Each structure stands twice: as C-alpha cells, then as structure tokens.
Amino acid sequence: MLRYVFDLDNTICVTKKNNDGVWDYENSEPLIDRIQIVNELYEQGNYIIIDTARGSTSKKDWYNFTMNQLKEFGVKFNELRSGIKFSGDYYIDDKGINSEDFFKQKLQNNLD
C-alpha cells in the first residue's frame, strides 16, 4: 500500500477566482479523468489523502463543504485535510510529482 497525497483545487477539480479575487470553491468543476485515476488507486488498496489549503488564509472552515463536494464529485479517499497547508508559490519535496505530469502519465497508460 502506498500513501498518495493529492491537492484538490486545480489538481482534481478546476477552481477559479471570482471577480473579487476570492477563490470560488462553490463553483469548482471536477476533472473526471483525474478523479477516475484517484479512485483506481484507492480501489487498488492505496491510502488516499486529499490535502487542501481551503481556509488557510481566510480562516473560514471549508471542511464540511469540501467533504460533501468530494462525495458529489465521486472521489474515493481515506482522509481529508483542509485549511492546514501553508500558502506558498512553490512546494519542493523529494517525492513530489507535478500534477500535470502525474495525470498525463496515468492517462497515457490507460490509453495504451
């Protein structure tokens, strides 16, 4: 079993800012192909963590909303962490994989 930690916004769903420059979580759109990959990893027995910065700067509690949104999107996961990530422009990790590269590789493997 592997532990996968997925960011949420603009990784497994598209989230944009509204006209006031505030993230519009209510209108996030799921990325179905990516969610299918996350679900496959879950079904293979891997531990899936959804890790989102929602609320980390606003201090608004988005946990219950996000939990319901993930269920609505059909995402299978073991754990949700919300509002505890530090805001930053770059994340450097020895085990990190760029989300675009990860999903592109997984989608290509599914097509082969």
Q: What is the pTM of this model?
A: 0.87
pLDDT for 31? 97
pLDDT for 87? 66
Segments in the chain below pLDDT 50: none
Beta strands 13-14 and 29-30 are antiparallel
Sorted by where each starts, the structural domains of the chain and their CATH numbers stand as: 3-111 (3.40.50.1000)
E-state strands within 19-83:
29-30, 47-52, 79-82
**Mean per-residue pLDDT of the chain:** 91
Tens-place pLDDT, residues 95-110: 788 889 999 988 888 7
